Amino acid sequence: MSTLIDQKQTTYYNLINGEWTESSSKELLESKNPATGEVVGYAQKSTVQDVEYAIDTVFHAFNTSDWGYNPKRRYNALLGLAQKMEENKEHLARVLTIEQGKTINESRGEIAGCIDTLKYFAGASRTVFGRSIQLESQNFGVIAKEPIGVVGIISPWNWPALLMVRELAPALAAGNGVIVKPASLTPAISVEIFKLIDQVPDFTKGIVSIVTGPGRSIGAAMGTSKKIDMISFTGDTSTGKTIMEMATSNIKKLALELGGKSPNVVFADANLRKAVPLIGRSIFNTAGQICMAGSRLLVHESIKHEVIAGLKQYAENLEVGNGILETTDMGPVISQSQLDIVSDYIEMGRKEGKIVTGGYRLTGGEYDKGFFIAPTIIDELSSSSRVVQEEIFGPVLAIQSFSNDEEALAMANDSDFGLAAGVWTTNLNRAMKMSKAIKAGTVWINTYNRNFPEAEFGGYKQSGQGRTRGIDGLNEYCETKHIHFEID
């Protein structure tokens, strides 16, 4: 944190009522590169006063403009933003990598996902369909879909561009006003995207705002505000529970995508040539800091040693380093506190199981400047182990083995979470049986982490509520109204 004086790095401001403004606190938050420790830029350390002003302006814009009932305008606005991001995609990818730490290739993929999502929901803004129904001979009903009002989006630091746009796009497509509070660790990329929003004239002035700052104060103010009709939150389960409590202030609608401890279930007949590298990628991509990371491996006992050997080789061949280098396969974790959390889980795994590879912080040379952990695989863990049961959010894979299908299913569902799962088998009947019985919002068959804006995503159990993406993702941001006609 520092005051607004003599900074060479970029200073990022809040966008409120179509104007770039500094916080009333006159203080800033530092955004640092987790690979080097260098300051990337400075964002506003906003106050409750700032966020309340932003809420008021979005509330006013929504209630006094035609935004909610002008789908062509929303289409043009979202498509215009997609085009702006397309024009600036390499710049955005570099900002994302420098601020978050992920590899430049991951960042390019994330920005491409943002553009695809905006294009999809641009079209969807013109297809917010209701229906009509003849109820009786003289009674006719119209079931209308309407915007909810003002939506507050609280976005995470692990995929800060896509997971913001993933909620922003359908919320705006449905006709709502939106205020965004990005994660304090990664404000730069979010504000960079809002700079592009500011360049698209089809956005109604004040209909969308961004306010940066600490979640405990401004996030809480959003959660309790009676002018915000819905909160969309992506993040850890404990914070999601807190937001649920806050939402009782005016019984807000909630969309929550929370934690995960997702299994990859590998049967004896699986195509291991395909499975092993994709399973490795599913846990080590973004240094394991993904809610849907394949952090549990359940493997049939007959092929366990072969699979572990393949994953060990995969992990040890990964080039870990600064994500801005084209040759890097895995970057750092986001912060010292996250490194400490991951290290504590690794020590638990060392005591309770067997470290197959990794299990240490990378040090020496450039590694000393950042938060680098060797890709880690841990075997021989019991189902009750915290390493197996709890979300680590780091490059740590927990391995267990099973002897039959029933045991595999029981182990897959032995979790408080239910966000995603992978099933690896060439047996179609087994694949269908497992995909229907696993309690998770997404089950991938013979692949992993394949997401599309057309296909819904969300969690069972403590992995959240509601759905994002697809038709259901659009409808999450709509109210349903029955308009009834009695014909004389």
Catalytic annotation, residues: 257
d(C-alpha 384, C-alpha 378), whole Å? 14
Strands (E), 117-229: 131-136, 139-147, 150-154, 177-181, 208-210
d(CA 344, CA 324): 28
Residues 6+ apart with CB under 8 A from 283: 293, 294, 295, 375, 395, 396, 397
Q: Which residues are bridge partners to 385 per DSSP?
A: none
- Phi, psi of 101, deg, nearest 5: 105, -15
- The CA radius of gyration of the chain, in Å to the nearest whole number, is 23
Identify the sign of the CA torsion 237, 164, 178, 144: negative
**Token pair for 472:** 């259901």
* Residue 251: DSSP 8-state: T
Question: Distance from CA of residue 14 to its chain's centroid?
Answer: 22
Torsions phi, psi for 154 (to 5 deg): -110, 110
The 3-state DSSP class for residue 85 equals helix
Tell me the DSSP string of 414-460.
-SSEESEEEEE-S-HHHHHHHHHHS-SSEEEES------TTS-B--E
| 7 bridge partner residues | none
Sign of the Cα pseudo-torsion (286, 289, 290, 296, in order): positive
Q: Does residue 460 contact residue 454 with C-beta atoms inside 8 Å?
A: no
**Distance between CA 356 and CA 353 in Å, rounded?**
9
